[in-house]
Structure 1
């Protein structure tokens, strides 16, 4: 695993935490069910964000394509 992927994963984790905290603050309800639902949704949003950014960075040439990595 190279440094750009580590940075991208760290960015996805930070994005997930910030998005989940923002949604909890915005909803104003701090029940257990709401916290669990928002945590699960936050994880899904963070994963989708990571995949979208990875696809975009590969498309822009900032990361090697999947086919290029398998040839190494």
Structure 2
């Protein structure tokens, strides 16, 4: 795990947990099927949030851009 992305990854995990907990509380149903569905949806939302924030931070210059020339030619 690269050091500049550590806070972003931690933020994505916290966002995922909070979003999933909020959706469970809002739905009012704690059946096993609902918990599994919301956990899967929470993981997808957290991953999409991470990708969107990483793209935005790279665009704003707050994160280093990916280097396409890795030396393999």
- TM-score by length of structure 2 reads 0.89
Consecutive unaligned residues in structure 2, runs of 5 or more: none
Cα deviations by residue, 1:16-43 (Å, 9 ceiling, x for unpaired): 0000000000000110000000000000
Q: CA RMSD in A?
A: 1.7
In structure 1, stretches of 5+ residues that fail to align are none
* Aligned residue pairs, count: 71
TM-score, normalised relative to structure 1 = 0.90
Rounded Cα–Cα distance in structure 1 between residues aligned with 2:59 and 2:21: 31
Query: In structure 1, what is the equivalent of residue 18 of structure 2?
Result: 18
Structure in which a larger fraction of residues adopt helix: 1
Q: Which has the larger radius of gyration?
A: 2
